[in-house]
Structure 1
Amino acid sequence: MTHRLRPVGLDFVDTAPVRLVFAQEMSAAPDAVFHALNDDVPGWAEWFAAVTSARSLDDGTRRDIRLKGGGHFLETVIAAKEAEVYAYRVDDTNAPGARAMAEEWRLTPSGGGTRVQWTFALEGNAVFRGVVQLARPGLGRAFKGAVAALDRRLGR
């Protein structure tokens, strides 16, 4: 069963009650990384192991994301600035206890490649916040694995 979350803007990434921030270097250029994030939404399922299905909706302004374990998110893109940032908020989810969620992928040129910083920002009840905090190490590993897989994909 899905429920509607509070709509948030890009500022929520910096002000959310819970923020998980991970960073990783990759050899691909920022514009290539941006295009993989923004233009090839179905490709997410090929490089982000937690994603089983990703569909772009409404000419790319919305996304339908399904995760291993049954997680489901209907999202709206809230920032898409080439070679700099790609961010989206979750509008509807089946995650119990969530009230607001947004994710930001910040891209910075670094040593001929890209430093990717992923911020997972959320608001929810105490149980939801606790589960996310317990999942932090796994989310970090998933992010690092996804960035490494995306780097290999873009290097082909």
Structure 2
Amino acid sequence: MARRLRPVGLDFADSAPLRLVFACEVSAPPDVVYRALAEEVESWPSWFTAVTDIRTVDGGAGRVVRLRGGTVFRETIVARDPGERYAYRADETNAPGMRALLEEWRLTPAGSGTRVQWTFATDGGALFRFGVRLGRAGVGRAFRGAVRNLGRRLPDSP
């Protein structure tokens, strides 16, 4: 990996210079969705098509994620609140222009299922921020597609 990023904490989800926040609902309950996000990490490529490979490292305290197009992240898990929240920060990447990244998945009961909210909190140079803003619609489509795919894989009840 080419570059170390600035370590950030959970508060970065609210204070980052650039935040993309998307939400979608699935019919599965929060604990089932959480298990797929945080405990069945290696299954991500089967439902999140932007992810080509993902594996846990450091005894489960981190992950290495490879995305379509060749971007790679080495991440540290910063929050594991079963049925409620899963968050991680990127510590290293080969993505140009990025200075910091935190992703937070929030789960809340919604009717007979779960509202899944994903926050992509980041910082980087002016060109990087411009590119992220320009790609916002595509990132939102990718998130919604991933959550729909995930929802189709999950049982409606535990």
Runs of 4 or more off by more than 2 Å in structure 1? none
Deviation at 1:28, TM superposition (A): 0.7
Cα displacement string for residues 76-121 of structure 1 (whole angstroms, at most 9, x for unaligned residues): 0000100000000000001111110000000000101000000000
2:136 alignment partner in structure 1: 136
Q: Distance in 2 between matches of 1:138 and 1:2?
A: 25
**% of aligned pairs identical?**
60
Q: Which amino acid letter does the alignment assign opposite residue 47 of structure 1?
A: W
Q: Aligned residue for 2:60?
A: 60
TM-score (norm 2): 0.97
State the 1:14 CA deviation: 0.4
Paired with 1:55 and 1:48, the residues of 2 have a C-alpha distance of 14
Partner of 1:110: 110
Distance between the aligned counterparts of 1:135 and 1:28, measured in 2?
29
Q: Would you say how many aligned residue pairs link Structure 1 and Structure 2?
A: 156
- Alpha-carbon distance between aligned partners in 1 of 2:108 and 2:32, rounded to the nearest angstrom: 12
Aligned to 2:3: 3
Q: Deviations over 1:35-82 (max 9, x none)?
A: 111111110011000000000111211000000011100000000100
Aligned mates of 2:85, 2:155 — CA distance in 1:
21
Segments of structure 1 that go 5 or more residues without pairing to the other structure are none
Q: Which runs of 5+ in 2 are unaligned?
A: none
Q: Deviations over 1:22-43 (max 9, x none)?
A: 0001101100011111111110
